[in-house]
A and B are shown apart, each in its own frame.
Chain A
Amino acid sequence: MTALLATEHLTMRFGGVVAVDDVSLAVADGELRCLIGPNGAGKSTLFKCLTGQIKPSAGRILWRGQDITGLNSFEIARLGVGIKTQVPSLFDGLTVLESVRLALRRQARERVARVQALATLERLGIVELAQHLVVLLAHGQRQLVELAMVVAPEPDLIILDEPTAGMSAEETTRAARVIRALNAAHTIIVVEHDMQFIRAIAKTVTVLHQGRVLIEDDVASVLADRRVQDVYLGKTDVSWQVVA
């Protein structure tokens, strides 16, 4: 079966720094994939390549087997990819309802779009915020508004960059639950830094280290792997020093 999203030898160089180094991975339809790695592993860079924010130096990105390398962000979004950034990226001056309505780009009929937008807000438990200005919301609510914008158009794939950044352990567990629930209807890739979180998600994990895939396996094997422990605890050989 062709993967929903795959990379082939994906490489991203910044001058002398190879942030993403020959990464090949495949995410199947319906999967919930975690992409983790320590600081500077290349997670954000990989995320930016996958979402069309930067063009990779080499390698290919495939969507259902089709080459989509070098597409712009809006073209990738139009394939049916919902993207949530690390710092919530929102329309501060608009209302929550208008924001979610804008996410329903393909729904031209205003009344239908309104109903769909409200249904999405209902689903995420923030329908009472519909008429609020986004700028006035608390941090947690902002995260949910962005999530509402991402899931409203029913994307085939959702890519989340560090959804638990700045969250407490308890919030992280709750976020993991929300993401697992979303996985019932959507394929999901989560880029994460936090080990706690991948325990809670407990699905296939790809570990990046210095731009390369260190290991890709189910969560139990990954957590038991010596190399992963070394990388995360920092008691490793010189190769894991930051490249100057």
Chain B
Amino acid sequence: MNGIRLPIELTAASVVTIAAILILPHVLELFALINATVYVSMAVLALSLALVWGFGGILCFGQATFFGLGGYAYAVAAINFGDTVYAVPVAIAVPALVAAALGYVMFYGRISDVYIGAITLTLTLILFNFVNSTSGDQWRIGAAPLGGFNGIPSTPPLNMPGDPGNPLPPEWIFAVAMLSLLICYIIAKLILRARFGRVIVAIRENERRAELLGYDVRAYKLGIFVIGGAMAGLSGLLFANCVFVSPTMFSLFYSGQIIVWVMVGGLSTLVGPVIGAILLNLLTTWAGTLPEINPSLILGAILALAVLVMPRGILPSLATVLGRFRGARGMT
């Protein structure tokens, strides 16, 4: 039965993506379009944690580490290379390699879940402090100054492939972001359907049993962690293309937010965290426009309400409600 569902889900995702690319640039103001691109980059970030935490069972409190590293790797490589297209693989490879090194230490060192949360969180805070302290002129990588707490305001956007003097307009950047989200979703779907993904889910269900069946749990966890790191890096790249890179990318604010998006959207779903990220970002922006009310207060209240009303997240709750009417199965 999954055999029929997968093509339907992938087709639906593709249709939504193409529709968004064709329609949104015409109906949104430039500023709103750039904001929408930021939200899409956040959706990719949410998807990365959905894989690592929701399916891999690895509670990574520091997914922002890879988001920030992706952004910085992109900015530094883009400034140095000139042709920013070549910075794309760097933005994905650097966080993936860091995830590989960190994951190796954590999983092969058999570090327990609680400490994994603490270590990943600590790493992002260390990077936050470190990058903040790189304001002097001696802190540069090639032609790129790291800029301390100011970040790198001169982060160049992607250019037409092979044409460094021709940066992509915002509509194109939006399209790139949407396509990236679609590709990440498809990759995630295929991973979960493949043998690798099924073992990952089994490990989440019962690590010891998976091990007693002969699976090298460490290798599987490392694998999903690296994939998640690479995806978060891509999201950092997209973010850098709409805003610019700065130490806040490593901040507690982002690391915490990602967890909330995944939780509110629905753990162990893929579409849920994507919706969660976009919805909560819209909400935050909207709350910011309200006069005389602290936006954090509104957001907090809505979060508390969401957790109370839909403890399993938006998507699973929606599926249950729909299921009551027409016996539909849960969606992912």
**Which A residues form the contact surface with B (CB < 8 A)?**
51, 72-74, 77-78, 83, 85, 89-94, 98-99, 102-103, 105, 108, 149, 153
Contacts and interface: CB of A to CB of B under 8 A. Distances in A.
Contacts of A92: 205-206
B212 A105 contact: no
A148 to B, nearest CB: 12
B5 to A, nearest CB: 16
A105 B198 CA distance: 11
A150 B217 CA distance: 18
Contact of B202 (A73, A83, A91, A153): A91
Interface residues of B, number: 18
B300 interface: no
Contacts of A108: 195
B56 to A, nearest CB: 14
Contacts, number: 55
Contacts of B205: 91-94
A120 B212 CA distance: 18
Q: Which 6 A-B pairs have the closest CB atoms?
A: A77-B214, A91-B205, A89-B209, A78-B214, A73-B211, A83-B212
A154 to B, nearest CB: 13
B86 interface: no
A78 B217 CA distance: 13
A74 B208 CA distance: 9
Contacts of A89: 206, 208-209, 212
Contact of A94 (B202, B213, B215, B216): B202
B199 interface: yes
B324 to A, nearest CB: 19
Given A91-B202, A91-B206, A94-B205, A149 B195 contact: no
B199 A73 contact: no
Nearest to A101: B198
A73 B215 CA distance: 9
A51 B214 CA distance: 11
A74 B206 contact: no
A98 B209 contact: no
B201 interface: yes
Contacts of B206: 89-92
Interface of B: 195, 198-199, 201-202, 204-206, 208-217
Contacts of B199: 102
Nearest to A99: B202
Contacts of A98: 198
Nearest to B204: A93
A interface, by DSSP: helix, strand, loop or mixed?
A: loop
Nearest to A79: B214
Nearest to A110: B195
A74 B195 contact: no
Contacts of A94: 201-202, 205
Contact of B211 (A72, A93, A99, A149): A72
A103 B216 CA distance: 13
B53 to A, nearest CB: 15
A74 B202 contact: no
Contacts of A72: 211, 216
A85 B202 contact: no
A74 B217 contact: yes
A99 B205 CA distance: 11
B213 A102 contact: yes
Contacts of A93: 201, 204-205
Nearest to B214: A77
A105 B202 contact: no
A27 B195 CA distance: 35
13 contacts: A73-B212, A74-B216, A77-B213, A77-B214, A83-B212, A89-B208, A91-B206, A92-B205, A93-B204, A94-B205, A99-B202, A102-B202, A105-B215
Contacts of B215: 74, 105
Nearest to A159: B212
B198 A74 contact: no
Q: Give the one of A85, A91, A108 with max B CB within 10 A.
A: A91
A32 to B, nearest CB: 21
A92 B213 CA distance: 15
A83 B208 CA distance: 11
A90 B209 CA distance: 6
A83 B206 CA distance: 14
A91 B211 contact: no
A103 to B, nearest CB: 5
